[in-house]
Structure 1
Amino acid sequence: MSLSLPASFSYSLPASRVFVIGLAGGADSGKEEFCKVLLEQFQKKHVVDSSKALLLHLHDFYRELSDEDRVRVASGLYNFDHPDAFDWELLAQVMDDVQEGRETKFPKFNFATKKRSYESPTKDIVNLSVIVFEGIFVLYSQKIRDRLNMKLFVDIDDDARLVNRVARKVAEPNPDSVDHILIEYVRFVKPSFDDFIQPSKKWADIIIPRGVQNTPAITLITDHATELLKNQQSNSTRHTLLPPHLVTTPTVLSNAGSNNSSACPSPGYLSRSFVHGESPSRSSMNSSPVPRKDILGGSGDSHYKPVPE
């Protein structure tokens, strides 16, 4: 069954020299692994070679900690899973530098020392073609969303993410106790997901259930990104009807590989809300959410405030 779009519907890409794919999702949802698989597929399809592709991590853009912050870290009261923990201005500057081909240095956050250092790029910035940028809040800030050509969201079950988190942390050289991991999850990780990350899903062009296990989704995204990359080479800002590959909508991808015909809309036109995965029934999709009062474990005056849009 073919799907068509109304003639008035246009899909716009920001004018850019480098094609930027942003991937968001909850902590421990396999975002980095998904990005690596995506880049491998680009190379196999000869879309871009490894020297012209760059993988960026949001966790390297944690802001410098003040003395007060370090006291909170030592007391287990600093929330690394909150938007205010990140240096959004630095991130925007680095993305602009890469986009313009300017010399820049990339931050690297050391989780052991909780300090940030800088390193020179290992790739030729001038010749970069693709950036894949992953992190829990990649779709949270409009300032960053406006710099993305394609916005993805990995949608993994809460229980699966918790299991992944426990497995990862107990396997570290200096593992935390399971009790500590669970307290941290309940105090910070889960509330931040509910208040900030989950609502940002509404900004995704494509939502990928099951993450890296969703092989059909990876294939469809790769094919669609390939076409967009080719279009961008001929026209940096493209306004056009969506190609057939954009059947990679949240509803369709969630049933990739399924024979359930009810997953697709009835023949006719796709609405803008269907293409972007928005549904009027999603009460949790409010923009600019306010942090929960218990985000610091019961404190009524949260130390953190939402990043202004």
Structure 2
Amino acid sequence: MSISLPPSFSFTVPLSSVFFIGLAGGADSGKEAFCRVLIQELQKNQVIDSNKALLLHLHDFYKELSDEDRVRASNGLYNFDHPDAFDWDLLALVMDDLKEGHLTNLPKFDFATKKRTYEMRLKDLEKPRVVLLEGIFVLYSQRIRELLNMKLFVDVDDDARLVKRVARKVSEPNPDSVDNILTEYVRFVKPAFDDFIQPSKKWADIIIPRGIENVTAIELITSHAADLLGRQQQPNSTRPSRLNSPSVLQELKSAAGSTTSSACPSPRPNSRTHSEGGTRPGLISSSVSGKGVLGGSTDSLYKPVPE
């Protein structure tokens, strides 16, 4: 049985000394737990030191809420499961700073107060070797995708994610009622998955069924990351890259071309229509109506990703 890789997969070693791994998936699919296990495996296999890995959470990059929006949020009328709710500019700035080794502020979103604080990453701290970014929309924004060296998607059954969500929320210090949890799920969480998250799976280099239970996937990702990071540590080496070998690349291209149906994502289109909205140059906006951050119909610049 041959293994084919998607044409969108990058075979080149990243120019930056920081290796960015993005992990997307539906809410309550175990993304954070998967990232922590992956970090442990990288450390156990001596790919990185314990202080060389940094885990970022997309939910820490929620936009600052106004007083009015905080009232809406407390009444369950603010949609946190929508691209409009995130500060993409701040996320890109932090990732750029980490890549360049600059002093940077890491945000922390407090869900109790709905406010954002900052934690300074001191200059004398060691520069991270690997940065993992996890969150539901990690693969939605083209701007963020272009900063990632490896793109992963955790694929967990809808019912399993809902069960985990209910169990998590009823066990919190100030638990929601089951009725409120289900209402929020139907109003915001499920539509977000159908319109934005599930379609973004096509941008993934590797799709991981069953999430953290998939031990084989963890081992394969660790091995591949170790291969890339090991070669990256020798920028002055004249040893040719195994994946840059003409014969290997030809075999990979032939295998990809001969595969007519696969669980791997389709080639990355040149269109930028799936980027985050706004006035940034080169981005195409849409006036497609949909559920916005306020829970009603809105002419959001963020449109569902077409299948």
TM-score normalised by structure 1 residue count: 0.79
Q: For each residue in 1:232-265, what CA deviation from the matched residue of structure 2 results, as whole angstroms up to 9, or x when unmatched?
A: 22359x8726999xxxxxxxxxxxxxxxxxxxxx
Alignment of 1:145-294 (within 5 A): 145-235=145-235, 240=244, 269-271=255-257, 277-278=264-265, 287=274, 293=290
1:105 is paired with a residue whose SS is: strand
Distance 1:100 1:67 in 2: 35
Compute the RMSD of aligned alpha carbons: 3.3
How far apart, CA to CA, are the structure 1 residues paired with 2:247 and 2:130?
A: 20
Does the CA-based 8 Å contact 2:85-2:293 persist in structure 1? no
The Cα of 1:176 is off from its aligned counterpart by: 0.2
Say if 2:38 and 2:222, in contact at 8 Å, map to a contact too: yes
Q: 1:19 to 1:124 in 2, by over 3 A?
A: farther
Q: Equivalent pairs: percent with the same residue?
A: 63
Determine if contact 2:290/2:303 at 8 Å carries over to the other structure.
Answer: no
Structure 1 unaligned runs (5+)?
245-267, 281-285
Aligned to 1:62: 62
SS of match in other structure, 2:99: helix
CA distance in 1, matches of 2:63, 2:116: 8
Contact persistence 2:78–2:295 (CA under 8 A):
no
Of 141-150 and 123-132, deviating more is 123-132
Q: List per-residue Cα deviations over 1:141-186 (Å, max 9, x = no partner).
A: 0110011000000000000000010000000000000000000000
Which segment is superposed worse, 82-91 or 123-132?
A: 123-132
The one-character-per-residue Cα deviations of 1:211-237 (angstroms, maximum 9, x if unpaired) are 00000110011001100111222359x
* One-letter identity of the residue aligned with 1:154: V
Please show how residues 106-117 of structure 1 align to structure 2 within 5 Å.
Answer: 106-117=106-117
Cα gap change, 1:124/1:192 in structure 2, threshold over 3 Å: closer, same or farther? farther
Distance 1:133 1:243 in 2: 33
User: Is the Cα–Cα contact under 8 Å of residues 10 and 242 in structure 1 kept in the other structure?
Assistant: no
Q: How far did residue 25 of structure 1 move?
A: 0.4
User: Contact conserved, 1:51 with 1:123, CA < 8 A, in 2?
Assistant: no
- Which residue pairs with 1:252 in the alignment? none
Following superposition of structure 1 onto structure 2, how do residues 133-152 of structure 1 map, counting pairs within 5 Å?
133-152=133-152
Superposition deviation, residue 50 in structure 1: 1.3
Conserved? CA contact 1:18–1:129, under 8 Å: yes
2:18–2:99 Cα contact (<8 Å) kept: yes
What is the one-letter code of the residue matched to 1:70? R
Q: After alignment, is 121-130 or 50-59 more displaced? A: 121-130
Change (3 A) 1:91 1:295: closer
Corresponding letter in the other structure for 1:34? F
2:100 corresponds to which letter in structure 1? E
Q: Report how far residue 74 of structure 1 moved.
A: 2.8
Aligned length: 277
Aligned 8 A contact 1:24 1:139 in 2: yes
1:84 equivalent to 2:84? Answer yes
CA contact (8 A) 1:29 1:161 kept: yes
Taking the aligned partners of 1:58 and 1:243, their CA distance within structure 2 comes to: 39
Q: Give the deviation of 1:304 after TM superposition.
A: 4.2
CA distance in structure 1 between the partners assigned to 2:300 and 2:137 by the alignment: 15
Deviation at 1:125, TM superposition (A): 5.0
Over residues 106-162 of structure 1, what are the superposed CA-to-partner deviations in whole Å (9 max), with x where a residue is unaligned?
000001110000012279555321111111111110110011000000000000000
Give the C-alpha shift of residue 15 in structure 1.
2.3
Rounded Cα–Cα distance in structure 2 between residues aligned with 1:273 and 1:287: 25
Consecutive unaligned residues of structure 2, counting only runs of 5 or more, are 249-253, 268-272, 276-285
AA aligned to 1:305 is: L
Q: Is the 8 A contact 1:195 1:291 kept in 2?
A: no
1:53 partnered with 2:53:
yes
Supply the AA of the counterpart residue of 1:84: D
| Contact in 2 for aligned 1:21/1:131 (Cα 8 Å) | yes
What secondary structure does 2:22 align onto?
A: strand
Counterpart of 1:214, as a letter, is N
